[in-house]
A = this chain, B = another copy of it.
Amino acid sequence: MAAAAAAAPLPRAPVSSPATRAVLWPARSNLRTAAAPPLGALGWRRRQHFPVVSMTPGSAQSTPAALAVDPKVEALLDSVKWDVKGLAVAIAQNVDTGAILMQGFANREALAATISTRKATFYSRSRSSLWTKGETSMNFINVHDIFLDCDRDSIIYLGTPDGPTCHTGAETCYYSSVYDALQGSKSNQERQVATTLYSLEDTISKRKEEIVTEGSGKPSWTKKLLLDNQLLCSKIREEAGELIQTLLENEDQSRTASEMADLLYHAMVLLSVKDVKMEEVLEVLRKRFSQSGVEEKASRKKS
């Protein structure tokens, strides 16, 4: 985790001032230690300091002299299959929600800077310079891990955004559904790319808004749950009981998946009543792993 970097307010770092950037963002990385495998599982381990990268903005193709990095970083950068312009596709993804936030391109220096600073950094083809997402908006993407694909020409920056990623203020740049457009719908930032869990969360959230805007009328099941805490709580208890039953009575796997879906849905309605996002829940789980582990925490509770 880049928690320290994420928590500290970061002054603007102009792309034209690599020296400033280097001072502002001390390099860090992870240590894999045999003694702490549970921490390794989510990829956030103890930090190790790498030498700070000296960057030369304005050139996509860097020369060896333009970089002064750890030899291991240098070897890694050598292993990337940069295209003829010295670029590779770089995709920023939210580690907690899985949302693809944006896609840009990285050159050697941009990847080196991201490795070192843990702030998602790209190469702007239009401005011919490095740019760190957030350097203007302060909505940095705090990078927890970086993955290369099997061809080593595509990069994922897996991290947590400080705020909306898109310049429009949307959480992600992807809010134009092709099939919606073909049906004549205009782009709608409320219809952002979302995986199943977050689409469900959006739907529950819409039902909640409808209660306010349209009245409860003949309410859907979700609305009934949103309006009746006792009903909601009894359903959560019931669904937890049914999930347990699939184990104790050795019911088949499809029953288990179905009962878990029920429990998850009803619990997410409770989250909506409490104005808590699934992203916050996953952040809790991630932080437990990066500290003493969910197992240890849960163990302390069992007595």
Does A156 sit at the interface, judged by CB under 8 A? yes
Q: A191 — which chain B residues lie within 8 A by C-beta?
A: 43
Q: Give A138-193 interface residues, CB cut-off 8 Å to B.
A: 145-152, 154, 156, 158, 166-168, 170, 173-183, 185, 191-193
* Among B73, B98, B181, B282, contact of A76 (Cβ-Cβ < 8 Å): B181
* Among B145, B173, B203, B273, contact of A177 (Cβ-Cβ < 8 Å): B145
How many residues of A sit at the interface, in one of the four size bands? 35 or more
- The 8 A CB mask of A77-102 against B (1 = contact, 0 = none) is 00000000000010101111111101
* Among B156, B260, B296, contact of A271 (Cβ-Cβ < 8 Å): B260
Q: A79 CB to closest chain B CB, in angstroms?
A: 8
Q: A52 — which chain B residues lie within 8 A by C-beta?
A: none
Q: A286 — which chain B residues lie within 8 A by C-beta?
A: 196, 199
Report whether B248 and A200 are in contact in the complex, using a CB–CB cutoff of 8 Å: no
Cα A275 to Cα B266 in complex, Å, equals 23
Nearest CB in chain B to that of A206: its residue: B41
- The 8 A CB mask of A190-229 against B (1 = contact, 0 = none) is 0111011101101100110000000000001110100001
Report whether B202 and A173 are in contact in the complex, using a CB–CB cutoff of 8 Å: no
- How many copies of the shown chain assemble into the complex? 2
Does A258 sit at the interface, judged by CB under 8 A? yes
Q: Give A227-284 interface residues, CB cut-off 8 Å to B.
A: 229, 232-233, 235-237, 240-241, 243-244, 246-248, 253, 256-258, 260-267, 270-271, 273-276, 280-284
**Most chain-B Cβ atoms within 10 A of its Cβ — which of A167, A174, A185, A200?**
A174
Q: A170 — which chain B residues lie within 8 A by C-beta?
A: 150
Report whether A32 and B282 are in contact in the complex, using a CB–CB cutoff of 8 Å: no
Report whether A257 and B240 are in contact in the complex, using a CB–CB cutoff of 8 Å: no
* Among B70, B93, B274, B285, contact of A100 (Cβ-Cβ < 8 Å): B93
* Among B97, B182, B232, B253, contact of A247 (Cβ-Cβ < 8 Å): B232
* Among B182, B260, B285, contact of A196 (Cβ-Cβ < 8 Å): B285
Report whether B221 and A247 are in contact in the complex, using a CB–CB cutoff of 8 Å: no
* Among B103, B147, B180, contact of A174 (Cβ-Cβ < 8 Å): B147
The 5 tightest CB contacts between A and B, nearest first, are: A98-B98, A240-B240, A146-B178, A221-B295, A221-B299
| Chain A to chain B contacts (Cβ below 8 Å), 24 pairs | A29-B182, A30-B179, A32-B180, A32-B185, A41-B203, A91-B100, A93-B195, A97-B98, A97-B195, A98-B195, A100-B100, A111-B178, A147-B175, A149-B176, A150-B167, A156-B193, A196-B286, A199-B289, A240-B240, A243-B267, A244-B270, A256-B274, A261-B288, A266-B298
